[in-house]
Amino acid sequence: MSRVPGVSGVPALPAVPALEFSGLVKRFGGQTAVDHVDLVVPPGSFFGLVGPNGAGKTTSLSMATGLLRPDAGAVRIFGHDVWADPVAAKELVGVLPDGMALPDRLTGREVLTYLGLLRGMAREVVEQRAAELLAVLELDAAESTAIVDYSTGMRKKITLATALLHGPRLLVLDEPFEAIDPVSAATIRTILQRFVRGGGSVVFSSHVMALVEQLCDHVAVIARGRVEAAGALDDVRGEHPTLDEAFVHIVGARAGGAEGLSWLAS
């Protein structure tokens, strides 16, 4: 476990995890989507959550941020239980969920202003941050466009802006780079790297192993609702030259695609 430096002569205290899952379970009908997941995201880490389709990443992240109630287990954000102490936990976290519902008839600036004021932020702070976020994410050109007319990538960027607006200490992002053009992706990478350098923590899910490898210092591989491997990137990668190869090894390669579909080429 990571530790905060101790004052000389006084033992260092264990650092409180930015995010901690303990025995997390979620079932949908007869199916267990998340099956006793334990995970620790150290403070100040850039943490990648990877796994095949249907592995339980979105379900886990939704429970982490108070959007979905677990059937069992607990989630803590900097020690605050997301369900028992939601106000303190939500103050510390910015969330990019899977397909967040936004007030569709408002423009990007109006959404940011609305959500900032709802959080109790001062109007001038909201306006200044909203202007900066819209400019950096290149949404300022769509000044008078309502969210309903945004493209998928624009919706993702404005949702990311809502996650950053209140200056959280932890970002939980579900596939933040999906549907994002390369220039915007580079901007988002830079924002997130700066956030981590400034002491923030980031957890994000992705299918792009090269990106996870480039950005993250910690990674967890989840499959069939269970954590198959987790820890420092180098430890999870192990002997494999790339995370991609480690992933296939950990998850188990499936020999699909080579056989069948004979009609496809005929």
Ligand X SMILES: Nc1ncnc2c1ncn2[C@@H]1O[C@H](COP(=O)(O)OP(=O)(O)OP(=O)(O)O)[C@@H](O)[C@H]1O
Binding site for ligand X (CB under 6 A): 28, 33, 51, 53-59
Quick count: other Cβ atoms within 10 Å of Cβ 239? Answer: 7
Nearer to ligand X, 27 or 249 (CB): 27
* CA 217 – CA 231 distance, rounded (Å): 9
Nearer to ligand X, 126 or 250 (CB): 250
Q: How far is the CB of 43 from ligand X (least distance, A)?
A: 25
Q: How far is the CB of 31 from ligand X (least distance, A)?
A: 6
**φ, ψ at 81 (rounded to 5°):** -65, 125
Nearer to ligand X, 58 or 113 (CB): 58
> CA dihedral defined by 54, 60, 66, 67, rounded to 10 degrees?
0
Q: How far is the CB of 18 from ligand X (least distance, A)?
A: 21
Q: What percent of the residues of the chain are helix, what percent strand, and what percent coil, each to the nearest 5?
A: 35, 25, 40
Nearer to ligand X, 59 or 107 (CB): 59
Residues in Cβ contact with 254 at an 8 Å cutoff, skipping those fewer than 6 apart? none
DSSP code per residue over 31-96: EEEEEEEEEEE-TT-EEEEE--TTSSHHHHHHHHTTSS--SEEEEEETTEETTTSHHHHHHSEEEE
Q: How far is the CB of 53 from ligand X (least distance, A)?
A: 3
Nearer to ligand X, 54 or 103 (CB): 54
Lookup: tokens for 161: 């802006």
Q: How far is the CB of 45 from ligand X (least distance, A)?
A: 20
Assign 203 to helix, strand or coil. strand
Q: How far is the CB of 28 from ligand X (least distance, A)?
A: 3
Nearer to ligand X, 64 or 92 (CB): 64
